[in-house]
């Protein structure tokens, strides 16, 4: 039989949110790329919630956009409602969230892939990873990826492979006692790849996640719910989207609540929940809990929020946010019908839980390459994360690094002080995660610096240097930064006298009068004032200052003290982050390390002391020991 | 890095009754066994059980077992020793030559001379003590008086670590609360939280303030009270110093201006150390050398913890007194109306006219040794308020600790300010985190890249 054998640069396995970004990055960086999917119709599918962004996830999308990713651009084209969350709180936690038209999102992303040069879409299940052994400079033998084999037997030779299999590996869906061996949305699972991974020596584990029911809009009584409107002025996700293009008519979401009756039904049927009855082996996300989990964990709460969100414009299906479940169909129906407005609801798709194979990401470098298999990268839920946005950013980083690897250029690692993406990946590869990892605001130590509004200023340069961001875009960002700096400087040095005219204007805008002269910057620091309000006093102001520049000026001046203190924290962090650990370190030689720390350090092989200090099970005393050892190591190396 | 066996002389580098050589490490027993014989001249050290002491001789095994000294040897086996390694301590006679000779034998038999602080470093690295304990060890070695020793012992037992841990726990609780509310606003509400946090912050700030006050006290106990004696020429300043020091330290004559330079003396007063500085009398003078002395006196007065202002009460106050009073205003001052044995024309009432606050005015006669007891008691009350011997008080004896507590204190004040300015809650955690990590550095829960070596390098050899 004639066997198909193709030669490409990169194979991407899976076309979800991680796979799409990985494939686009590689193709855009000039590499011949193939993306495999079990169904072309499921490219960039949103099988769970119908939105992109949200608290801290919005940050991820903005960072991805600054680095040259696609998600932000696609959601800007396909959203049906958009909201900046947490506006009442500080700028660090402002976060954008948009409701997507799911079908439109999928179609739009697919079209981007289809029209991308260097990129081929292939509907096929990848069954096997092909590898070789190579001898490194220091004599150690290491595996090296050489390509993939699909179910037909066809072989694709590649220099790098990126695994983005999402929830498809040996997937199993549970709806109470009803169990089906399918991927999300009833799609075909991928049942063969796991064995090939195990053969490569990769450690596999099993996670679960869940999704709530979808209901027929016509069966819901919205008069019993609170209407949730979008923002009057919509802020786009992508820095490249013209804000005028996203001001459009929006649809509403609805808020209602569970009650004691709901909880009672759930409690009475816990024995029929696969999770509580012990049928589910996978570990679920703590921060995106099923309604069963919430009722058990927050037993004292009388009610939980339920958000009813449209799945799109051309469908009657509504998503029931906050009530994912793996209870049997009859219990689900009874439970949903206790919620105000859902008394007569008709379920289109039942809630279900899904179990799947994934890896322990400690097997990865922070570049998302496998430590033990050269050229093999991975991203997304396969790495033990949860969420579209978390998946997308990993896909992008894996894609960029696979491309850089092939081009023989230094790969990219973002650290915790640079981006939420850095926090996410660092957490994945250094901490023990026993459940799907979800991005959260609290995980970022330096969040006042890692705001969603300055992602372009933080990261565009990196995207440009990798070859994903155009020179034009990069120059724009440089110009923006210059404008911010010079304007802040001007405001700090412009003195305002306490004259009558100034006092009159200040009182006019609801501020107190001046006792002595001051600077414009100090006036902006007043809580009731900002750059815009001072236009009458500030006569020499440059004209037509862009809105996004004004936003940066206000934040930089108002929170300067906090920003400086956080920068100091970063400085401290960098000191220990910059202490590199030699690759050939033998932890058995480091006397006085506790056994647990020794095992963990051996398993993770951190590249610097900062990373070592974050590994669960490594204590500060162990780090002191390590530092002392590195001192002596340095000493003996030098002498 | 296989840990080798180290040795050092643990007692002072001067002739004394006993000298101790400590050996620690895997080979400690073997090394000692080579050079130690019991009264029957047998080598049995390997068979001794842990925590026993034995009589015998140190012999030169490379020179026909020539007896070097008659000794007691104690054996402490791993992990129950200071370093958690096998440890042998040789108690020999204290002549420097002899002690060094024994150490030399130990080194010749396979041990290495220990670096400063290496025993303690090993205790730290093996996890037996935390950093604040390690630093207390250094303070115990360096402490110069009894109260200082007591405070160091307490720190060694971990009182400071315990206190710091409990403060850190309170702070991290608040951080965690804010963070979890940010992550899960549906289930955790921040309504009314700023007021609640304000109370917590106030109480933590107070505790830190208390530690800081105690740090100053700790410094005073450890380093002594910098006391400067000022006054016009011939008011009796040098006589006062001599009485307190109990010796003729300063030259006392009837000629005004005899003390031209600064005389320093450490005086132990009721367990406290007074670093006494006797100064040249402050007055207008044309004498060049005396002038320098006067300027120096003014400088010292500014830096002093305590001023003793000696007034000759037998002559009226004049311009020079006014100058002195000006110089020392805002300083802790005790006025001594000296020469009370003569006809007095200056009293407390006279002083009041000049509108300066003094801690106390005491009538003294350095000639008749009157009023000196009152002065001593007054100083003790002032600096110790009788509290020092309370069991529950933690004294901060260490400058690094003090700085870190100061940092934590400043951070907590910034949190308070953020609450007052009605900043959004997520801003609170920046400074809470700073306070948390400052405190963490004290107990080694936070690691500075060069800290470990810095601390142990300050130790003396043998600890």
pLDDT of residue B390: 41
pLDDT of residue B125: 72
> How many beta-carbon pairs under 8 angstroms link A with B?
95
Closest partner CB to B1 (pick from A304, A445, A589): A589
pLDDT of residue B251: 47
Under the banding of pLDDT at 50, 70 and 90, the label for residue B148 is low
Do the domain assignments include residue B113?
yes
- In this structure, are B211 and B228 located in the same domain? no
CB-based contact B424 A89, cutoff 8 Å: yes
Structural domains for chain A: 5-210+356-466 (3.50.50.60), 214-353 (2.40.30.260), 471-567 (1.10.10.1800), 579-638 (1.10.150.570)
- Does position A455 have pLDDT exceeding 80, yes or no? yes
Which DSSP state fits A587?
G
Full-prediction pTM beyond 0.80?
no
Residues B433 and A85: their CA atoms lie apart, in Å, by 25
- In this structure, are B410 and B379 located in the same domain? no
Shortest Cα distance from A228 to chain B (angstroms)? 15
Under the banding of pLDDT at 50, 70 and 90, the label for residue B461 is low
Window from A88-97, B156-165, B422-431 with minimum mean pLDDT: B156-165
Do the domain assignments include residue B325?
yes
- Does position B393 have pLDDT exceeding 70, yes or no? no
The mean pLDDT of A309-322, rounded to a whole number, is 96
pLDDT of residue A26: 98
Token pair, residue B8, equals 């050092």
Check which CATH number belongs to the domain holding B56 and give it. 3.30.1360.120
- Does position B347 have pLDDT exceeding 90, yes or no? no
Check which CATH number belongs to the domain holding B214 and give it. 1.20.120.430
Last residue of a domain, one of B384, B408, B439: B384
Residues of B in contact with A89 (CB under 8 A): 182, 424-426
Do the domain assignments include residue B463?
no
pLDDT of residue A231: 96
Under the banding of pLDDT at 50, 70 and 90, the label for residue B452 is low
Give this complex's ipTM.
0.87
pLDDT higher at B158 or A153: A153
Q: What percent of chain B has pLDDT over 70?
A: 76
Most B CBs within 10 Å, among A621, A623, A626, A633, to test the B interface: A621
CB-based contact A305 B186, cutoff 8 Å: yes
- In this structure, are B270 and B356 located in the same domain? yes
- In this structure, are B364 and B315 located in the same domain? yes
Do the domain assignments include residue B202?
yes
CB B121 within 8 A of CB B138: no
CB A497 within 8 A of CB A516: no
Under the banding of pLDDT at 50, 70 and 90, the label for residue B453 is low
Residues A383 and A363: their CA atoms lie apart, in Å, by 10
- Does position B2 have pLDDT exceeding 50, yes or no? no
pLDDT of residue B449: 63
pLDDT of residue B138: 65
pLDDT of residue A589: 84
pLDDT of residue B49: 94
- In this structure, are B177 and B108 located in the same domain? no
pLDDT of residue B286: 67
- In this structure, are B369 and B423 located in the same domain? no
Residues of B in contact with A445 (CB under 8 A): 433
The mean pLDDT of B453-463, rounded to a whole number, is 58
pLDDT of residue A387: 95
Q: Which domain holds residue B181?
A: 141-219+394-457
Q: Dihedral (C-alpha) B167, B168, B172, B174: value to the nearest 10 degrees?
A: 20
Residues of A in contact with B457 (CB under 8 A): none
pLDDT of residue B154: 66
- In this structure, are B260 and B316 located in the same domain? yes
Neighbours of B172 (CB within 10 A): 14
CB-based contact A304 B186, cutoff 8 Å: yes
- In this structure, are B209 and B335 located in the same domain? no
Residues A101 and A111: their CA atoms lie apart, in Å, by 15
CB-based contact A441 B182, cutoff 8 Å: yes
pLDDT of residue B386: 45
Q: What percent of chain A has pLDDT over 90?
A: 76
CB-based contact B427 A448, cutoff 8 Å: yes
- Does position A599 have pLDDT exceeding 50, yes or no? yes
pLDDT of residue B11: 80
Do the domain assignments include residue B462?
no
Mean per-residue pLDDT of chain A: 92
Find, in chain B, the residue whose alpha carbon is nearest to that of A613.
B447
Those residues whose C-beta lies under 8 Å from the C-beta of residue B143, and which sit 6 or more positions away, are: B149, B151, B152, B222, B397
- Does position B173 have pLDDT exceeding 80, yes or no? yes
CB-based contact A591 B125, cutoff 8 Å: yes
- In this structure, are B370 and B252 located in the same domain? yes
Closest partner CB to B430 (pick from A562, A592, A594): A562
pLDDT of residue B1: 36
Q: What percent of chain B has pLDDT over 90?
A: 28
Check which CATH number belongs to the domain holding B306 and give it. 3.40.50.300
What B319-325 contacts at long range (C-beta under 8 Å, 24+ apart), as own/partner pairs, is B319/B284, B320/B232, B320/B282, B320/B283, B320/B284, B321/B232, B322/B354, B323/B282, B323/B283, B324/B230, B324/B231, B324/B232, B324/B282, B325/B354, B325/B356
CB A53 within 8 A of CB A98: yes
Find the helix packing angle between B146-156 and B131-142, rounded to 10°: 160
| Preceding peptide of A534 cis, ω within 30° | no
Report how many domains make up chain B: 3
Chain A interface with B: residues with Cβ < 8 Å: 55, 88-90, 92-93, 287, 298, 301, 304-305, 440-442, 445, 447-448, 527, 559, 562, 565-566, 569, 572, 575-576, 579, 589-592, 594, 609, 613, 620-621, 623-625, 627-629, 631-632
pLDDT higher at B249 or B209: B209
pLDDT of residue A278: 64
pLDDT higher at A424 or B390: A424
Shortest Cα distance from A590 to chain B (angstroms)? 6
Do the domain assignments include residue B93?
yes
Closest partner CB to B179 (pick from A442, A591, A594): A442
Do the domain assignments include residue B1?
no
Those residues whose C-beta lies under 8 Å from the C-beta of residue A592, and which sit 6 or more positions away, are: A625, B125, B126, B127
Residues of B in contact with A298 (CB under 8 A): 187
CB-based contact B124 A90, cutoff 8 Å: no
Shortest Cα distance from A112 to chain B (angstroms)? 34
Taking only the tens place, the pLDDT of each residue in A142-189 is: 999 999 999 999 999 999 999 999 999 999 998 888 899 999 888 899
Residues B35 and B53: their CA atoms lie apart, in Å, by 16
Last residue of a domain, one of B129, B164, B191: B129
Closest partner CB to A621 (pick from B121, B127, B180): B127
Mean per-residue pLDDT of chain B: 80
Which DSSP state fits A514?
P
Under the banding of pLDDT at 50, 70 and 90, the label for residue A639 is very low
Do the domain assignments include residue B292?
yes
Highest mean pLDDT (candidates A535-539, B21-25, B423-427):
B21-25
- In this structure, are B378 and B238 located in the same domain? yes
Most A CBs within 10 Å, among B127, B193, B411, to test the A interface: B127
pLDDT of residue A1: 54
Tokens 């010796």 found at: B247
CB-based contact B421 A559, cutoff 8 Å: no
- Does position B91 have pLDDT exceeding 70, yes or no? yes
Last residue of a domain, one of B129, B158, B188: B129
- In this structure, are B235 and B197 located in the same domain? no
- In this structure, are B178 and B255 located in the same domain? no
Residues of B in contact with A591 (CB under 8 A): 1-3, 125
CB A170 within 8 A of CB A354: no
CB-based contact B125 A590, cutoff 8 Å: no
- Does position B146 have pLDDT exceeding 50, yes or no? yes
Closest partner CB to A613 (pick from B121, B431, B447): B447
- Does position B294 have pLDDT exceeding 90, yes or no? no
Residues A628 and A636: their CA atoms lie apart, in Å, by 13
Chain B interface with A: residues with Cβ < 8 Å: 1-3, 121, 124-127, 130, 179-180, 182-184, 186-187, 414, 421-427, 430-431, 433-434, 437, 440, 444-449, 451-453
pLDDT of residue B260: 44
Find, in chain A, the residue whose alpha carbon is nearest to that of B422.
A527
CB-based contact B130 A562, cutoff 8 Å: no
Residues of A in contact with B130 (CB under 8 A): 621
């Amino acid at each position: 039989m004639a066997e198909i054998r193709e030669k490409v640069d990169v194979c991407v396995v899976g076309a979800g949110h991680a796979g799409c970004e990985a494939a686009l990055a590689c193709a855009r960086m000039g590499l011949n790329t193939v993306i495999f999917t079990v169904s072309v119709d499921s490219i960039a599918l949103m099988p769970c919630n119908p939105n992109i962004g949200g608290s801290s996830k919005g940050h991820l999308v903005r960072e991805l956009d600054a680095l040259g990713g696609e998600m932000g651009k696609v959601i800007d084209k396909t959203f049906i409602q958009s909201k900046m969350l947490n506006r009442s709180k500080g700028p660090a936690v402002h976060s954008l969230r948009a409701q997507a038209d799911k079908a439109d999102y999928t179609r739009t992303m697919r079209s981007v892939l289809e029209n991308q040069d260097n990129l081929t879409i292939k509907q096929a299940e990848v069954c096997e990873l092909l590898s070789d052994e190579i001898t490194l400079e220091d004599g150690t033998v290491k595996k090296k990826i050489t390509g993939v084999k699909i179910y037909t037997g066809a072989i694709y030779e590649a220099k790098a492979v990126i695994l983005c299999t999402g929830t498809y590996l040996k997937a199993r869906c549970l709806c109470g006692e009803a169990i089906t061996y399918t991927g999300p949305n009833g799609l075909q699972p991928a049942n063969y790849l796991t064995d090939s991974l195990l053969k490569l020596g990769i450690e596999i584990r099993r996670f679960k996640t869940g999704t709530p029911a979808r209901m027929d809009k016509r069966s819901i009584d919205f008069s019993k719910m609170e209407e949730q409107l979008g923002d009057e002025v919509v802020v786009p996700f992508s820095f490249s989207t013209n804000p005028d293009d996203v001001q459009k008519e929006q649809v509403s979401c609805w808020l209602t609540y569970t009650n004691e009756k709901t909880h009672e039904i759930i409690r009475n049927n816990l024995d029929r929940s696969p999770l509580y009855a012990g049928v589910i082996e996978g570990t679920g996300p703590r921060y995106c809990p099923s309604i069963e989990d919430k009722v058990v964990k927050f037993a004292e709460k009388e009610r939980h929020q339920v958000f009813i969100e449209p799945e799109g414009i051309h469908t009657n299906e509504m998503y029931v946010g906050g009530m994912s479940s793996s209870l049997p169909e009859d219990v689900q129906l009874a439970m949903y019908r206790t919620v105000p407005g859902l008394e007569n609801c008709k379920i289109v798709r039942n809630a279900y839980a899904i179990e799947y194979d994934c890896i322990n990401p400690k097997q990865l470098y922070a570049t998302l390459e496998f430590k033990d298999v050269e050229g093999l990268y991975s991203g997304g839920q396969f790495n033990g994360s949860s969420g579209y946005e978390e998946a997308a950013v990993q896909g992008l980083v894996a894609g960029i690094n696979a491309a850089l690897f092939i081009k023989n250029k230094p790969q990219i690692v973002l650290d915790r002080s640079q981006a939420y993406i850095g926090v996410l990946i660092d957490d994945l590869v250094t901490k023990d995660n026993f459940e799907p990892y979800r991005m959260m605001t609290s995980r970022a130590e330096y969040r006042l610096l890692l705001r969603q509004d300055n992602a372009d200023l933080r990261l565009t340069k990196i995207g440009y240097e990798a070859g994903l961001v155009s020179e034009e875009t990069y120059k724009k960002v440089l110009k923006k930064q210059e404008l911010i700096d010079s304007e802040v400087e001007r405001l700090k040095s412009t003195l305002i006298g306490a004259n009558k005219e100034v006092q009159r204007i200040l009182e006019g805008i609801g501020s107190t009068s001046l006792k002595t002269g001051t600077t414009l910057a100090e006036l902006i620091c007043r809580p009731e004032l900002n750059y815009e309000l001072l236009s009458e006093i500030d006569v020499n102001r440059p004209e037509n200052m862009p809105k996004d520049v004004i936003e940066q000026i206000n934040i930089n001046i108002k929170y300067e003290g906090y920003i400086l203190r956080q920068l100091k924290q970063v400085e401290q962090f960098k000191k220990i982050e910059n202490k590199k650990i030699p690759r050939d370190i033998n932890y058995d030689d480091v006397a006085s390390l506790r056994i647990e720390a020794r095992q963990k350090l051996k398993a993770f092989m951190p590249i610097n002391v900062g990373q070592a200090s974050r590994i669960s099970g490594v204590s500060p005393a162990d780090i002191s020991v390590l530092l002392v050892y590195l001192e002596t190591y340095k000493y003996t190396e030098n002498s | 890095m296989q840990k080798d066996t180290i040795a050092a002389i643990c007692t002072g580098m001067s002739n004394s009754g006993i000298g101790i050589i400590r050996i620690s490490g895997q080979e400690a027993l073997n090394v000692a066994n080579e050079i130690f014989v019991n009264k029957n001249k047998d080598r049995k050290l390997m068979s001794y059980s842990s925590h026993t002491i034995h009589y015998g001789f140190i012999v030169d095994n490379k020179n026909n077992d020539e007896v070097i000294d008659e000794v007691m040897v104690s054996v402490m086996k791993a992990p129950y020793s200071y370093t958690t390694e096998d440890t042998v301590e040789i108690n020999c006679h204290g002549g420097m030559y002899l002690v060094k000779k024994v150490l030399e034998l130990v080194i010749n038999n396979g041990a290495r001379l220990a670096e400063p602080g290496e025993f303690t470093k090993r205790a730290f690295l093996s996890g037996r003590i935390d950093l604040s304990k390690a630093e207390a060890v250094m303070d115990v070695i360096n402490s110069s008086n009894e109260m200082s020793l007591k405070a160091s012992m307490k720190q060694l037992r971990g009182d400071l670590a315990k206190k710091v841990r409990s403060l850190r726990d309170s702070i991290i609780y608040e951080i965690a609360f804010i963070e979890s509310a940010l992550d899960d606003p549906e289930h955790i509400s921040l309504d009314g939280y700023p007021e609640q946090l304000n109370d917590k912050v106030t109480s933590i700030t107070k505790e830190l303030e208390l530690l800081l006050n105690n740090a100053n006290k700790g410094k005073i106990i450890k380093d002594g009270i910098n006391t400067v004696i000022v006054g016009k020429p011939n008011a009796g300043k040098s006589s006062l110093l001599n009485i307190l020091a109990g010796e003729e330290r300063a030259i006392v004559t009837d000629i005004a201006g005899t003390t031209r330079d600064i005389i320093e003396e450490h005086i132990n007063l009721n367990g406290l150390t007074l670093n006494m500085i006797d100064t040249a009398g402050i007055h207008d003078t044309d004498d060049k050398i005396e002038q320098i002395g006067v300027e120096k006196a003014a400088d010292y007065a500014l830096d002093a913890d305590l001023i003793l202002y000696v007034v000759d009460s037998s002559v009226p106050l004049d311009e020079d007194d006014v100058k002195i009073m000006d110089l020392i205003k805002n300083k802790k001052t005790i006025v001594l109306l000296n020469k009370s044995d003569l006809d007095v024309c200056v009293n407390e009432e006279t002083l009041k006219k000049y509108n300066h606050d003094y801690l106390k005015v005491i009538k003294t006669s350095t000639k008749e040794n009157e009023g000196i007891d009152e002065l001593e008691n007054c100083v003790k009350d002032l600096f110790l308020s009788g509290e020092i011997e309370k069991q529950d008080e933690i004294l901060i004896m260490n400058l690094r600790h003090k700085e870190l507590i100061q940092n934590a204190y400043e951070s907590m004040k910034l949190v308070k300010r953020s609450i007052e300015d009605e900043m959004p809650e997520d801003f609170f955690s920046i400074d809470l985190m700073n306070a948390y990590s400052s405190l963490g550095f004290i107990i080694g829960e936070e690691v500075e890249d060069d800290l470990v070596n810095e601390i142990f390098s300050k130790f003396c050899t043998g600890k």
